[in-house]
Chains A and B, each alone.
Chain A
Amino acid sequence: MNVIQIEERDNIGVATQTLKKGDVLKHKNGEFTVLETIPIGHKVALELIPKNEFIIKYNVPIGRAKVDIQLGDYVHTHNVEDVTEELCNKNKELFLVKGGK
């Protein structure tokens, strides 16, 4: 196995060995081609992630796409914005406003 998808909803997978450009991988949605070399432990897009959409890992948003990310693309700091502060603040605010479940 070359890629592990941790949770069902994740739109990225983690390379469990270095993926080479042109490698053809199988996923539940069918086959796809790796578009760039991806080092072991790094992320590959398992679907099209349009610009400004969230990268989902561990079933939660971990960052925002800076550009359209294609299926098979390398997903890292070059195309993902770290929006941790925004996520934390927004969700904290929502949580505090909600005032109880």
Chain B
Amino acid sequence: MSTISAYRRANDSVGIRNYIIVISTVSCVNTVVSKIGLHTGAIPITHEQGCVEFEDDHRQTVLALMRAGQNPNVYGVIVVGLGCEQTSSKDLIEAIESFGKPVKSLLVQQEGGSPETIAKGIELVRQLQKESTEVIRETESLAGLVVGVQCGGSDWTTAISGNTVIGRMTDLVIENGGTVLMSEVFGFPGSEHIVAERMITHEKGVEVLKMVEELRNDFLNDHGQTIEKINPTEGNKAGGITTLVEKSMGNIKKMGSSRIEGILKLGEQVPYPGLWIVDARVQGPDQFGTTGFAMAGANVTVFSTGRGTPIGNAVMPVIKITGNPKAYKRLESILDFNAGTVLEGKTIDSTGKELYEFLLEVASGKQTKSEINESFEFAIPREKARLT
């Protein structure tokens, strides 16, 4: 069985990084949070929410911020608020502290303004940074490793050399006792019968069919057409995709061939190791999906991209692999792994194994391009499907 070198946390979760993050509770203090990050190297989490939100939306905002702070990759947190916003700093802090992490609080209205809050924030981060060096990496099994798998910025190679290679890696993570999370449920219709068959029990298979049925109905209500009618798109066809089942198979290939344990709601923590589906139905930029993984407690995301994207995440390294050898040459500063060798004759099996080894190196401390470039995206996903 493989092992990694990682940080064991007070609540027994396993982190692969020792990040210090600065969380904004409301968009009014985003600049303050960004500046604390700029001066210290702590990771700022800013967003456009936190006040005058509908209750459901606000619950989601708080859940996302709370899960970010609780993520096993995070050593400690500075929570920065304004003082009159909808988000309760107190509740947020208590929720993060309950995971055994140090949390410091700042309110701009109490500290006497922005420069004062920034100065104090810098001081607090430095304190946490000093303490954080006392925590050391230890040998851990893969039982605490949670890996998201995602794709975006796709081209014709994404399904063939990108996602199939990720699929092999997924099977290796599962065989070695780890966890893999799949989302992108908007890409399921067309192969839901295949996913259903792979669920651990018949009841869970029925849950998958129900989930996709809901998606299909939402689509029909919003567009007046079935998904099949407009999918694959003309652009997909020009790229070589002939049918919808072919298109969605390219998506679910990232799940390899392991059995699937169940469906997790957005923000639900992984109950035990294995392959899981995160039911995040947000359509929009890739950051929503990645943040959905972080909210389930993911340590790292492996992201396949044919065209290339700089995406990272505030609480996770993101490993970017491309199935396109030309993209790799052109965009090496943002891409970590070249799976395009498959198109040049290397086997999917051996390339998948190499990706798995690379993943273990990253889990043990090797920096990804997303970290080197300080790409720390964070986007709060919404519960309800939003079709644009």
Contacts and interface: CB of A to CB of B under 8 A. Distances in A.
Interface string A44-74: 0000000000010110111100000000000
A26 B239 CA distance: 24
A82 interface: yes
A55 B157 CA distance: 20
A85 B248 CA distance: 13
Nearest to B200: A101
Contact of A62 (B160, B246, B345): B246
Interface string A1-18: 100101000000011100
A99 B202 contact: yes
A43 B246 CA distance: 11
A1 B190 CA distance: 30
B246 A57 contact: yes
Contacts of B191: 60, 88
A92 B196 contact: yes
Contact of B343 (A16, A76, A95): A16
Interface residues of A, number: 36
A75 to B, nearest CB: 7
Classify chain B's interface size.
35 or more
B228 interface: yes
A43 B344 CA distance: 17
Contacts of A76: 237, 240, 242
B164 A6 contact: yes
Nearest to A85: B228
Contact of A4 (B160, B197, B244): B160
A82 B247 CA distance: 11
7 contacts: A1-B344, A4-B343, A42-B240, A76-B242, A77-B242, A95-B193, A100-B201
Given A41-B239, A80-B242, 15 more contacts: A4-B160, A6-B348, A41-B157, A43-B242, A60-B191, A60-B249, A62-B246, A62-B249, A63-B243, A77-B237, A82-B228, A84-B243, A91-B194, A98-B202, A101-B202
